[in-house]
Each structure stands twice: as structure tokens, then as C-alpha cells.
Structure 1
Amino acid sequence: MTSKFHSLTGNPCQVDVFGEADALPAEARLAVLRTAREALTNVRKHSPGASVTLTFHRRDSWCELEVVDSGGTPSSVTGNGYGLVGMRERAELIGGNLDTDRTDGGFRVRLQVPA
């Protein structure tokens, strides 16, 4: 997924993993995967030129995925807004949450789900 982002954009995509991701329940693993994929798609569409860092933390009973982009050059592409809504709904269905906010010039998506 991250190599595809790099091959499509030419932009760096750093991945940091802390903890064991393979032992996650199937629904948590799917939420993490789909959120990462959608967040990378959003960066590619809305912030061409942005680099991205994905950070995964597995803690005792929770895991967290954070996707932060550097901002790049804002594009004029607009979406229907269902990407973020879908990510949030998927998290809530399994007892997790998703929040987003602007960072220094970029954007952050943070998913937290039970592990």
C-alpha cells in the first residue's frame, strides 16, 4: 500500500510499527487497513506533493493508527466527504473512534480501535 502511494506520487511514505499487528482481531485489522488506504487516497487526491508518515501502535487492549501528511500543494479536487465519514463509522462499529485535524500545514487522521 505504501509502495503503491510512492509509485503513484513519487512522494515519501514512512511507516513506523510499534507492537504486534498480526495478532489483531479481524475487524480491527480490517479497520486499520481500510483507514490507512483511504487516508493515503485522500492525501494523493487533496494534497499532491505531500509526504506521509503512518504510525501504528499496539497497546494492551487498543491499537492506534495515525496518518499525517506534510500538506503538499492543496488541490482543487473536491470530494463528497464520504471517505472520512466511512472511516469514522467503521471505527465506531467496532467500539473505536476516529478523529481528524489540521497539523502544521498538513492533515492528521487518527484511528483507535480495540485490539
Structure 2
Amino acid sequence: MTKHDISVSTRVGLELLNNKWYALILTNLTADFSDFMILRKKIRGISTLNLLLALTKLISLGLVADDDEYAYRLLHDGVEMQHILFSLHDWGKQQLKALGAVTKRGK
């Protein structure tokens, strides 16, 4: 069977991977609650409003949980997504090394 488009679930995954703020949030949180201001200091360049909006989206996707004191933590699916992001990072490093070796041989 030939596919002509990707699934909705694949689109959701790609949206997470394509949004640098989601990726930075997921890689800076742990399974333990972290205060919003600590997270805000770790992630440079995002406005407070955009950080809150991104956290709200990640909460709605079941990746992050919050408490009544503006603290956030990864849920099980968030930890899994974090592992995917770390694996993607490692894969990208390998590709850059391989590309560097090819470039050096070509000179």
C-alpha cells in the first residue's frame, strides 16, 4: 500500500521535534518538579509568555505536569520524548562527524 501523507500522530511528533522551545523544555526538565523561574533561567531567549504557552501545550499532550506553585516536571511520555531528543542529538553528532570526514577526504 502506498502512503500519500504522514499520519496525524507523526505530525504531532514532528511538531515537537521541529519546535526548539518544546525541545529545550523537554531536555531541561526531569521527573522531579522544577520551579518555573529556574526553568526560565535555563532556557534563554524565550519570553515568559511563550514559555508558559509552550508548557501549556506540553501539559495538554501529556508530556509535562504542573503543580499549584508553578513547578513543572516530566511525565512518563515526556521522559520517553526526552530520550528520543537525546538520541536525535547523538545521531546528529555522528552525521556531522561523518560529513567532516567526507569533507576532509574531498580536499
Q: Normalising by the residue count of structure 1, what TM-score does the alignment of the two structures yield?
A: 0.27
Name whichever structure is richer in helix by fraction: 2
Which has more radius of gyration? Answer: 2
Name whichever structure is richer in strand by fraction: 1
Q: Normalising by the residue count of structure 2, what TM-score does the alignment of the two structures yield?
A: 0.28
